[in-house]
Amino acid sequence: DAKTTQPPSMDCAEGRAANLPCNHSTISGNEYVYWYRQIHSQGPQYIIHGLKNNETNEMASLIITEDRKSSTLILPHATLRDTAVYYCIVRVARPWETSGSRLTFGEGTQLTVNP
Amino acid sequence: DGGITQSPKYLFRKEGQNVTLSCEQNLNHDAMYWYRQDPGQGLRLIYYSQIVNDFQKGDIAEGYSVSREKKESFPLTVTSAQKNPTAFYLCASDRVGTGELFFGEGSRLTVL
C-alpha cells in the first residue's frame, strides 16, 4: 500500500474551516484514501474515504486531486471537539479478497482547534 | 447500541506474567483486529482475524497470541516473551474489505 505524508501539526480557529493535507504520490489506481481521527486516549474514528471523486458526509469533505497524488480533508466549521490526530491512509480495496483491511496508520496530523 | 467493548481499561502487570485483554463486538462483523499504540506514535497491527477459528499475524505479532473461537470475541494475550509490553492496545472490527473500522476505547497496559 502507498505511503502517505502529512504535516505533524496544524492549528485552526474555532468556527473556521480546517483543511488537512495529505500527499500520496505513489498511489495506485485501485487504492482508496481513508481518513480517521483519534481524540486523545480514545480509539480512532472513521471519517470518510474515496477513490477519485470528491466525497462528503456529515462529518467532513474529501477532495482528491485529479492526478490522485494528494488529498485534503475539510472540516467546514471546526469546533473544539475536533481537536485530534488525523490519519490519512491509502489502501487497496479488494472486496473479493479475505485478507482484511490491514490499514496502516502513520503518525498523522495533530489538529488543534483554538477558541 | 452496537459497538466494541474492551476490558479492562487499565491493567498493571509484573514482569514475567501473561495477561489477556478482552475484546467483544456485537456489530456482526466478520473481521477483528488488534493494534498497539506507543506514546506519540501511530497504530501498529498485531493480529487480525477474518473468520472464526482463523487469524493472521500482523506487523508486530512476536510475544502476543490470540484466539477466535466465537465471531463476537477476539482476546489478546500479552505473553512474557513480549519485551516491551507497556502500551495502549486497541481492538477494532469491520465487515471484511470495507476499511471502515470500528474501534474500542482501548486498554492501557503498564508493566511494573
Task: Find, in chain B, the residue whose alpha carbon is nearest to that of A34.
Answer: B99
Query: Which residues in chain B come in under a pLDDT of 70?
Result: 1, 96-97
Asked whether the predicted pLDDT for residue A95 surpasses 50, the reply is no
Residue to mutate among A3, A49, A103, with most B CBs inside 10 A, is A103
| Chain B residues touching residue A41 (CB < 8 angstroms) | 88, 106, 108
> CB neighbours (10 Å) of residue B23?
24
A89, B1, B12, B61, B98 from A32: Cα distances, Å: 8, 29, 39, 26, 10
Please tell me what DSSP assigns to residue B28. -
Q: What tens digit of pLDDT does each residue of A65-92 get?
A: 999 999 999 999 999 999 999 999 988 7
Give the DSSP H or E segment for B37. Answer: strand B31-37
| Cβ–Cβ contact A59 with B under 8 A | no
Task: Find, in chain A, the residue whose alpha carbon is nearest to that of B108.
Answer: A41
Asked whether the predicted pLDDT for residue A30 surpasses 90, the reply is no
Q: Out of A26-30, A109-113, B55-59, B101-105, pick the least confident.
A: A26-30
Q: How far apart are CA A74 and CA A101, in angstroms?
A: 24
| Chain B residues touching residue A43 (CB < 8 angstroms) | 4, 90, 92, 103-106
| Cβ–Cβ contact A30 with B under 8 A | no
Task: Find, in chain A, the residue whose alpha carbon is nearest to that of B5.
Answer: A43
CB A112 within 8 A of CB A83: yes
Q: Please tell me the predicted confidence (pLDDT) of residue B8.
A: 96
Task: Find, in chain B, the residue whose alpha carbon is nearest to that of A94.
Answer: B97
Cell of B4: 466494541
| Chain B residues touching residue A95 (CB < 8 angstroms) | 96-98
A76 forms beta bridges with none
Option in A42, A94, A102 nearest B105 (CB): A42
Asked whether the predicted pLDDT for residue A20 surpasses 90, the reply is yes
Q: Please tell me the predicted confidence (pLDDT) of residue A93.
A: 58
Q: What tens digit of pLDDT does each residue of B15-25 get?
A: 889 999 999 99
CB B55 within 8 A of CB B33: no
Cell of B36: 498497539
Tell me the torsion sign for CA atoms A22, A15, B104, B32: negative
In Å, how far is B33's CA from the nearest CA of chain A? 9
A28 band by pLDDT with thresholds 50, 70 and 90? confident
Residue B73 φ/ψ, nearest 5 degrees: -125, 140
Q: Please tell me the predicted confidence (pLDDT) of residue B77.
A: 97
In Å, how far is A67's CA from the nearest CA of chain B? 22
Q: What tens digit of pLDDT does each residue of A31-71 get?
A: 889 999 999 889 999 999 999 989 999 999 999 999 999 99
| Chain B residues touching residue A49 (CB < 8 angstroms) | 99-100
Asked whether the predicted pLDDT for residue A98 surpasses 50, the reply is no
